[in-house]
Structure 1
Amino acid sequence: MKSIYLGIDISKKTLDICLVDQKSEAFFKIENKIKAIKKLFKQITTLDAEIFIAMENTGLYNYNLYEVLKDYSFNVYVIDPKHIKRSIGLVRGKNDKVDAKRIATFIERNYQDFDCWKPTSEAVQNIKILMSQRRHKVKTRQAIKQQNKELKTVKRTKIISSSMKINLKEIEQINKHIAAIEKLIKEEIANDSVLEKDIERIRTIPGIGSVTAWTLAVKTDGFVRLTNPRKLACFAGVVPFEQQSGTSLKTKPRVSKMADMQLKSVLQMAAMRAVRMDNDLKHFYLRKVEEGKNKMSVLNAVRNKLIHIAMALIKNKSFYENRLVLS
């Protein structure tokens, strides 16, 4: 049976599609709507071939595709845009049609290196949307707080005072929105008993609170992907890599900038909380610092350990006990 590769470039309103087989290529442009996607895939199923479909992860714009693809048995891959960009070398110019072809060509050459996409549960899908909304609200709140901080450095006038009061009211409203979103997240988690129990497990780890646990659940699609702690730690950007070439270049191992910054950020906060509490992680941190290790390097090691402990608890269906031996 022959193979056919589809590269899909996703935008808010449209999907640009490049279909590549052994002899030819074809291009399509359809609306990013479930009805249009169903019509296209119905036609594709008539082809006597094994179908490989690849797309970049663009967040909410992928969701119509996900909704349709869960009803088909295609080989589907969701690729990090940075991976494709770094694989194509030096290029000049781009457009949606070219991007679709690059995605199709990329998956044709590299599909064996990736795991197929699998549909996530409805609860995880909803939590992803809610976490995205929460993240935007938190960023907006932080920006308004920064405005007030800057206004305090200016001579206090009636206009300045009024502006600060408006900002404080807006912050209060955003806090209510965030609380409402968090309530919805908890309700969605309660609808999935397995997910609820897994989140409860990792929340027993020192330093890991609700937001960190929710983020881990979202990034692992409900703890069904990236369950290998080493791969998850690499994804989160907490694994140091050596930089060495011949005798002229050799640096200390450093974490890579190619990381999921959302996950890395919440893990940083979790690690900072953990080393302030009386637990094995704090004792590990203090011991390494006393040995002369760099504090940030040790804190990064704590982030790494948080991931390994969390994945161990999920795998073993157990809860954290403050008696782990940490090397």
Structure 2
Amino acid sequence: MEKVIIGIDISATTLDICRREETKKDFFTISNSISEIKKILKSLKKYSQVTIAMENTGRYNWYIYEALKDFSYTVFVINPLHLKRSQGLVRGKNDKIDSERIADFASKNQESLKSWKPDSESIEKVRFLFSERNSKVKLRASLLKQQSNYKLMQSTLAEELLKMNKEEISLLEKHIAILEKDIENVIASHQDLKKKSELLKSVPGIGKVLCWMMLIKTGNFQEITEPRKLACYSGVVPFDHQSGTSIRYKPKLSFYADKSLKSILHMAAMSAIRLENDLREYYLRKVAEGKNKMLVLNNVRNKIIHRAFAVINKQKPYEKNYINNLVTS
């Protein structure tokens, strides 16, 4: 039978699908539900080779991921920025066109793309709960900003609005606490995750939020297995900027990074240099040598990542004065 490539443009309620068979293409739309998705996936069994491509849209991918567990198709989950940069100059945009572009991108780049594999059930639960927690944290931050506006208004209406605002924040904080407790319960119920969580938290600067993010972003250290790859992913590794012999700039950080992880790493680095540990000693020593503070702080972020992988690989908690036997022997 023929080979087929499926490009899927995902939204909250619908999936726009482009089905590409060699030069032939057809389009259709279904609801974003597990039952509808499974019907489409079952209809693809008649093909000898099935490739499915979609963008990573966060929680909107959830139903597709669930449905795909029962099938063995080749699946690519594409970074939206990667797709956008590959298109060059384009005109026009709608869901149908986007699904076609995803299918075309998968067709041209199949050999270089990394196949998607489902996470373990425990990691999926942690990822989903963490996503819900983050949405409520962002909403709380928005409500906190509103408070300053209400305080400037000297009226009864402002007092009523401020009261409502505080009640909403209080409720959000309760929900955030429940979600964080649920995340810890999931981790505690899985021996491997529990062990890795304890190891990560032994590293100076790594608290519960960064610990959860590292477990999620690395797929429980199964998808990303090297510290440099995570450092690159989180935007703490500088890259050279050079062209010929006349254009040469200082190495600088890439803008193409996971901003949320980079932000949490920055907070972890700030926390680490306030505590009594070797990272603080390193920071103070380099600043005293005249190094730029932000450059040194970025190096601390990088060191935190490398220490995290070290404790996971060695299966031992972090030790400040650890001596490598290979060096001393």
Task: Identify the TM-score tier after normalising by the shorter chain.
Answer: over 0.9
Please show how residues 57-68 of structure 1 align to structure 2 within 5 Å: 57-68=56-67
Q: 1:280·1:324 contact (CA, 8 Å) conserved in 2?
A: no
Give distance in 1, aligned partners of 2:153 and 2:100. 57
Q: CA deviation at 1:2?
A: 6.0
The one-character-per-residue Cα deviations of 1:266-287 (angstroms, maximum 9, x if unpaired) are 1110010011111111111112
Aligned residue for 1:45, secondary structure, equals: helix
Q: 1:56·1:80 contact (CA, 8 Å) conserved in 2?
A: yes
Give distance in 1, aligned partners of 2:283 and 2:230. 22
Give distance in 1, aligned partners of 2:321 and 2:159. 53
The runs of 5 or more residues in structure 2 that have no matched partner are 324-329
Q: 1:229·1:311 contact (CA, 8 Å) conserved in 2?
A: yes
Give distance in 2, aligned partners of 1:173 and 1:35. 34
Give distance in 2, aligned partners of 1:37 and 1:159. 49
Q: Which amino acid aligns with 1:169?
A: E
Please show how residues 70-109 of structure 1 align to structure 2 within 5 Å: 70-109=69-108
**Aligned residue in 2 for 1:267:** 265
**Aligned residue in 1 for 2:295:** 297
Aligned pairs, number: 324
Q: CA deviation at 1:22?
A: 2.8
- Taking a change above 3 Å as real, the CA distance of residues 19 and 159 of structure 1, as seen in their structure-2 partners, is closer
**Aligned residue in 2 for 1:132:** 131
Whether 2:147 is the aligned partner of 1:148: answer yes
- Taking a change above 3 Å as real, the CA distance of residues 38 and 196 of structure 1, as seen in their structure-2 partners, is same
Q: CA deviation at 1:19?
A: 2.1
Give distance in 2, aligned partners of 1:108 and 1:306. 39
Give distance in 2, aligned partners of 1:217 and 1:240. 24
- Taking a change above 3 Å as real, the CA distance of residues 86 and 155 of structure 1, as seen in their structure-2 partners, is closer
**Aligned residue in 2 for 1:210:** 208
**171-180 vs 298-307, which deviates more?**
171-180
Aligned residue for 2:82, secondary structure, equals: helix
The runs of 5 or more residues in structure 1 that have no matched partner are none
**Aligned residue in 1 for 2:319:** 321
Q: Which amino acid aligns with 2:6?
A: L
Give distance in 2, aligned partners of 1:101 and 1:158. 55
Q: CA deviation at 1:305?
A: 1.3
The one-character-per-residue Cα deviations of 1:192-245 (angstroms, maximum 9, x if unpaired) are 211111111111100110011011111122222122211111111111112222
Give distance in 2, aligned partners of 1:189 and 1:102. 39
Give distance in 2, aligned partners of 1:135 and 1:213. 15
Whether 2:221 is the aligned partner of 1:227: answer no
Name which of 283, 286, 289 aligns with 2:284. Answer: 286
Whether 2:32 is the aligned partner of 1:55: answer no
- Taking a change above 3 Å as real, the CA distance of residues 39 and 324 of structure 1, as seen in their structure-2 partners, is same
Give distance in 2, aligned partners of 1:238 and 1:74. 35
Give distance in 2, aligned partners of 1:223 and 1:74. 24
Q: CA deviation at 1:320?
A: 0.9
Aligned residue for 1:259, secondary structure, equals: coil
**Aligned residue in 2 for 1:117:** 116
**Aligned residue in 2 for 1:13:** 13
Give distance in 2, aligned partners of 1:234 and 1:22. 36
TM-score w.r.t. length of structure 1 = 0.93
Aligned residue for 2:71, secondary structure, equals: coil
Q: CA deviation at 1:247?
A: 4.2
